[in-house]
Each structure stands twice: as C-alpha cells, then as structure tokens.
Structure 1
Amino acid sequence: YKFRRGDFDVLVGINLLREGIDIPELSLVAIMDADKEGFLRSETSLFQIVGRAARNVGGKAIMYANRITDSMQKVLDETDRRRKIQMEYNEKHGITPQTIVKELKPLVDPSLISNKSMDFGQEAEKAAQQDYLESIKVADDGIQYKASPAMNEITFESKDKLIEHLRKTMLNAAKNMEFEEAARIRDQIGQLEDQL
C-alpha cells in the first residue's frame, strides 16, 4: 500500500515477486544471483519474477549474474519473441501500450477509524488497542464482536469461540498475503487470551 501510494521508491521482495505481487506501479525488477540454479531461479520462477514489471509500460527487469544459464536464456528468448508479437499486434490495430491503472484502496475501512486526532507512535498504538477493546462487548450470554459494518454483529458463545474465529480469519489473511491484517488479528487474539 505504501509503495503504491508513493511513500517509498524501493520494495525488496524475497519470494513475493515470484508469488504474484500485483503492483502496476512497479517499473523495475532486479534479480540478484539470477545464475544460481535451483527452484527460485528456474525458468518458471524467472518468468514469474520478470512478469511483475510487465504490467508497467516502462517496466524493466535486470538479471544480475556471472553467466547466462539455460533458464535465463529461455526467458530472454521467449520475452523477445512475445515482445515482437505484441508490437506487431499493437501496430496493426493502432494500440498504444499503457500501464495498468488499478484503484488504490485503503487497508482499513474508513468507517472503522477512530475520530480521535493523535500523533503517530506509542500513543496512537495505545488508542488503537483501546478502540479495539471497546469494540468487544462482554454480555452474560456471550460476546458481541463487530468486525466491520458489512458483518453487522456476530455473537459468539464464549471467548474461545471468538478466538477460534479470529484464528481462521488470521490464517485466511496470511494466505491472501495480507500480512498487516494477519498481524493485527494475531495481536487481538493475544489480548483476548490474556483476558482468559
């Protein structure tokens, strides 16, 4: 989110680039040790990594290596072949290549953000935790937990059931590579477990 918003210029990825990170603003992919044979530098992996820059009209991929491996050569040859076909098609049909434009959505539903003004830092973190704790209402018959306006209210029989639900939600967020959300939910689980 911060990269797409322009807060910083460089994003260092380990496996994320191969796994399909979807950032149209990404204009340069640098592959270090591209000549190291193995799973992470196989032909398929190199195609996946190089393809991250293909969503940007000015996108480039640089493979740093001491020698050109078979996998690298196949990627270079196939990229040239595809580029030639695409350029011919574009010229024939009068198409001007453009970078994919993708809406930049906030990570948090704006309706869930506190209206309290504050500085960022420990005070902000404490306030956010307090907002979360206030969103859980403990009643005699269970716990009311309002996750988002879309969900309305979900009633859980016990804190254990709520924690179980949050764990599943956390794992789904991690599976979808929403790591900040997964970490936030993990912290919520920790707070609930401390109350048990």
Structure 2
Amino acid sequence: MYEGDQSRKRVLVRHGFRLPSAMDNRPLNFKEFEERTGQIIFTSATPGDFEFENSKKVVEAVIRPTGLVDPEVEVRSVFDRKTGKSQIDDLIKEIEKRLPLKERILALTLTKKMAEELSEFLIARGIKARYMHSDIKTLERATILTDFRKGIFDVLVGINLLREGLDLPEVSLVAILDADKEGFLRSDVSLIQTMGRAARNINGKVILYADTFTGSIKEAIRQTNRRRELQIKYNKKHGITPKGIIKSVKDMIYE
C-alpha cells in the first residue's frame, strides 16, 4: 500500500498536480507498522515463513465440521512416453468422467495465452469451457463464476486467480498443468491454496502434472496428506460421515 501510494503521488508532484507535502499524507510502511503494533494474532489457511518466524505459538484448526477431508492428490506425467499421451489428453479423459456426474473441473495453466488456448482446444473437442485471467474485467469474472456454478459450462481454465477466496463446491477435480515449473505460481503455498478448491466436494481430487518431484510439490502433498489423515481419524473417532457442502447459486455480482 505504501509503495503504491508513493509511486502515484510522485508522478502528481513531479507534474505540479499536488504539493510536495502530499507525500507526507500517506499510509505507514511495513517497518513503521511493526513498530506501532503490540500483540498480534495471525490467521491464515496457508501461513508463510513470516507468520511462523514471528509467532511464539502456532494453533492449528484443520478439522472441518462437515467431516470433509482434503482431496486425494495424484501426480501424473506431463508426457507419457509409453502411451504417447500428453497431460492434455489425460485431462480430457478425466473431464469426460465427470461430465455425466454434473461435476465441475478447474484447470490451471501458467500463462494467459495457455489458458486461452486450452479453453479453445476443449471447446473444439465439444467440452463447454471458459477461461479467466487478469485481463477479464471484474464484473465479467463474477458472471463467469456464476455461470460456472450453474453448469452453463463445465471447465474453468485459469492461472493464479483461482488460488484464493473462491467457494466452488461443485468442483470435484483440480488439474494443475506443468506443476513442476517452480516459481510463484507453483510454490508450495500456491499449490496448497489451489488444491484446496477441490476440498469442498466429497469427491474432490487433485491431479498434478509433473515430470519432476519438486520441493514445492513434495511439501504441498505432505501437508495435504497430513491434514487428510487428521480429519479421517477425527471422523472415525466421533462417528462423522463426510457431507458435501450445499450452497445455493447466487449471482456473484450482487454478493
């Protein structure tokens, strides 16, 4: 926030649209914020290194009252030399399994162009698909997500916009293409957040397409399996039968 504020005002001051004193009317930078805060409680579904390093005690709350467990995670080859099939061929096969069940699929690519091309390719194969990335305007994104939940189309192709804040209980499969291309979009935290999109559905499953087991993949799978085991043990101990989330479909523009 601080950097964005200063960058904008520097341009205005330079061209005479604001007085230099405007630079002093600003939000705190992070160091100043830390100096003024006392006790803090960090709350996050996917805490990072900063939270762990600055916390004296960590309390986990991984048990879901619905009994839903974290999705099963499977790693498959980007290209299978034995069959000559690619990750796209395998993805289409998985999509076709879920269409009769009226379940939805999220497919994650690395770039905007890849998202658009994959969407077009699926449509050419008779699969109802759309893409969503940062070039899509906010109101159109809300319409796309509403149509997705309503079943107007079955596959949503995206990039990092699908990581946080989306509640899509109809999604039973999250497919992450090129999962071994380490970077911001394929870090362990990003993978865990993305994989969590399948945790709202009782049939939730995640497929990571990768030829190399990167450190991020190993950590994401370890954390997901650990939480899955904790939930299964809790369900058995308390006689809980997992129940899928039922959520009415409302137009997200008005939510």
TM-score by length of 2: 0.41
Counterpart in the other structure of 1:14: 159
Question: Unpaired runs of 5+ in structure 2?
Answer: 1-145
Could you tell me how far apart the structure 2 residues matched to 1:15 and 1:108 are?
Answer: 20
How many pairs are equivalent? 110
Task: Report the Cα distance in structure 1 between the residues aligned to 2:191 and 2:219, rounded to whole angstroms.
Answer: 10
* Structure 1 counterpart of 2:223: 78
1:128-161 Cα deviation digits (max 9, x unpaired): xxxxxxxxxxxxxxxxxxxxxxxxxxxxxxxxxx
* 1:57 counterpart = 2:241: no
Determine helix, strand or coil for the equivalent of 1:28. Answer: strand
Q: Which runs of 5+ in 1 are unaligned?
A: 110-177, 179-196
Aligned with 2:186 (options 22, 41, 50): 41
Match of 2:71 in 1: none
| CA positional deviation for 1:44 | 0.5
Q: Tell me by how many angstroms 1:46 deviates.
A: 0.4
Q: Offset of 1:21 from its aligned partner?
A: 2.1
Shift of residue 77 of structure 1? 1.3
What is the CA-CA distance between 1:12 and the residue it aligns to? Answer: 0.8
Given that 1:20 and 1:52 are in contact with CA atoms closer than 8 Å, whether structure 2 keeps it comes out as no
Task: Give the 3 Å change call, closer, same or farther, for CA 107–36 of structure 1 in structure 2.
Answer: closer
Deviation of 1:20 (Å): 2.8
Higher relative contact order at CA 8 Å, sep ≥6: structure 1 or structure 2?
A: 2
Find out whether 1:91 has 2:236 as its counterpart. Answer: yes
Q: Residues 35 and 108 from structure 1, CA distance in 2 versus in 1: closer, same or farther, beyond 3 angstroms? A: closer
Structure 1 SS opposite 2:216: helix
Whether 1:102 and 2:252 are equivalent positions in the alignment is no
Read off the aligned partner of 2:193 and give its amino acid letter. Q
Larger relative helix fraction: 1
Give CA deviations for 1:89-142 in whole Å, capped at 9, x if unaligned. 001111111111112113577xxxxxxxxxxxxxxxxxxxxxxxxxxxxxxxxx
Which protein is bigger by CA-based radius of gyration?
1
For the structure 1 residues 94 and 46, does the alpha-carbon distance in structure 2 shift closer, same or farther, using more than 3 Å as the test? same
In the alignment, residue 158 of structure 2 is paired with which amino acid?
A: G
Equivalent residues in 2 for 1:1-196, closer than 5 Å: 1-106=146-251
Q: After superposition, what is the alpha-carbon deviation per residue over 1:44-92, rounded to whole angstroms, capped at 9, x for unaligned?
A: 0000000010111111111101111011001111111111110010011
Does the 8 Å CA contact 1:20/1:48 hold for their aligned counterparts?
A: no
